[in-house]
């Protein structure tokens, strides 16, 4: 009996194959319920007592050899399958896909670059503001009716601490800390207590510009805006309509002539060809006084635009809520690199 076990041990050691089916047949032959090992274990009771120890050792050696042989063959076949399925595993992996910039960041960077070319620097300020910088210094004293135009988020019922409603507060801080000439733009996030819809949101972004120097005129403002619209939109026709802002006088709304070449042009301009893009005006002398700048010596202009509105125009996006939903399907449509 021991000789038969040793014969099978030699067969197991010499067995080799590259077929999964043959490996499985080999496993069943030795390790199955009706396999060779079970037969040898069943015959153990017929072995003379003097040979039981040697028989048991030989049988255990056979079982170990079979188990290791099956594992080795199966592992080898799995490695070959992996190489066949995936090719040369020593090759470099696929490059990691780069993310894309948010469309608001793309447009903000373009606007910043355009104004940087004519000498405007960037100024930033806190999003949590006090009443003075957000309202009072901008010719909006307490109980001024124009405050109703900007529904405000206040912090813990403190009427003096709030989320800024415009980046004009950054301009106030900049004028307080810097002497003219001043030429700066202030991009940033602002907050207003408005209902969220396809056309409005309680969070949005602005870029506001400010230029303070001696003998600054409305003509300087118009030329700056014309340069901007040509650079960003490729449009060379603008108009300024009289308007009202508490911190500028005179004030105006800026329209560009978008044209009426397509059905989309008719839809977004309501058949007029004109689109409003921003507000502007000459800085009110009271604002200059509040920031310790002599209005008798200096004058200036200011302008401001919503980045969401500009982005929706440039990319023909119909719903402002898409900017805040972090939908990868939407964001991946915009190229990085700006």
pLDDT 10s digits, 87-111: 666 777 777 777 788 999 999 999 9
How does the average pLDDT of the chain come out, rounded? Answer: 87
Tokens coding 46: 């017929």
Alpha-carbon gap, residue 45 to 304, rounded angstroms: 99
Q: 110, 232 in Cβ contact below 8 A?
A: yes
Region 112-122 average pLDDT = 96
Q: Are strands 128-130 and 299-306 parallel, antiparallel or unpaired?
A: unpaired
Q: How is the chain split into domains, by residue range?
A: 2-86, 103-331
Residue 322 reports pLDDT greater than 70: yes
**For residue 283, what is the enclosing H or E element?**
strand 274-283
DSSP character at residue 127? S
- Please list the helix, strand and coil fractions of the chain in percent, rounded to the nearest 5, in that order: 45, 20, 35
Q: 123, 174 in Cβ contact below 8 A?
A: yes
Helices marked H in 15-48 = 20-31, 36-42
- Give the CA angle between residues 218, 307, 259 to the nearest 5°: 70
Q: 44, 55 in Cβ contact below 8 A?
A: yes
Would you state the pLDDT for residue 2?
Answer: 77
What is the domain class of 103-331 according to CATH?
A: alpha beta
Prediction pTM value: 0.69
Alpha-carbon gap, residue 106 to 95, rounded angstroms: 24
- Paired residues of 300 in beta bridges: 212
DSSP, collapsed to helix, strand or coil, labels residue 298 as coil
Percent of the chain beyond pLDDT 90?
A: 48
Q: Confidence band (pLDDT; 50, 70, 90) for 338?
A: very low
Region 11-37 average pLDDT = 82
Give the residue among 238, 188, 210 at the shortest CA–CA distance from 303.
Answer: 210
């Amino acid at each position: 009996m021991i000789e038969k076990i040793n014969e099978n041990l030699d067969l197991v050691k010499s067995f080799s194959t590259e077929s999964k089916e043959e490996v499985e047949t080999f496993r069943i032959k030795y390790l199955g319920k009706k396999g060779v090992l079970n037969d040898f274990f069943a015959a153990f009771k017929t072995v003379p007592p003097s040979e039981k120890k040697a028989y048991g050792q030989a049988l255990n050696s056979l079982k170990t050899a079979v188990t290791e042989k099956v594992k080795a063959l199966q592992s080898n076949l799995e490695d070959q399958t992996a190489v066949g399925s995936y090719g040369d595993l020593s090759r470099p992996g696929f490059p990691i896909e780069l993310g894309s910039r948010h469309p608001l960041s793309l447009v903000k960077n373009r606007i910043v670059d355009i104004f940087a070319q004519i000498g405007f620097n960037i100024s930033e300020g806190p999003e949590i503001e006090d009443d003075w910088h957000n309202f009072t210094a901008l010719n909006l004293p307490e109980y001024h009716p124009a405050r109703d135009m900007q529904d405000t988020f206040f912090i813990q019922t403190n009427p003096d601490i709030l989320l800024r409603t415009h980046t004009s507060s950054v301009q106030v801080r900049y004028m307080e800390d810097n002497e003219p000439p001043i030429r700066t733009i202030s991009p940033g996030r602002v907050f207003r207590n408005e209902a969220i819809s396809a056309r409005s949101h309680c969070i949005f972004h602005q870029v506001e510009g400010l230029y303070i120097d001696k003998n600054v005129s409305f003509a300087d403002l118009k030329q700056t805006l014309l340069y901007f619209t040509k650079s960003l939109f490729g449009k060379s026709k603008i108009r300024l309509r009289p308007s009202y802002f508490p911190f500028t006088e005179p004030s105006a709304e800026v329209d560009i002539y978008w044209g009426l070449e397509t059905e989309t042009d008719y839809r977004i301009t309501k058949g007029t060809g004109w689109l409003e893009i921003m507000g502007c005006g000459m800085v009110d002398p009271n604002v200059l006084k509040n920031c310790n700048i002599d209005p008798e010596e200096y004058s200036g202009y200011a302008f401001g635009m919503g980045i969401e509105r500009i982005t929706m125009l440039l990319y023909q996006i119909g719903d402002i809520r898409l900017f805040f939903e972090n939908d990868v399907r939407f964001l991946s449509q915009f190229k990085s690199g700006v």
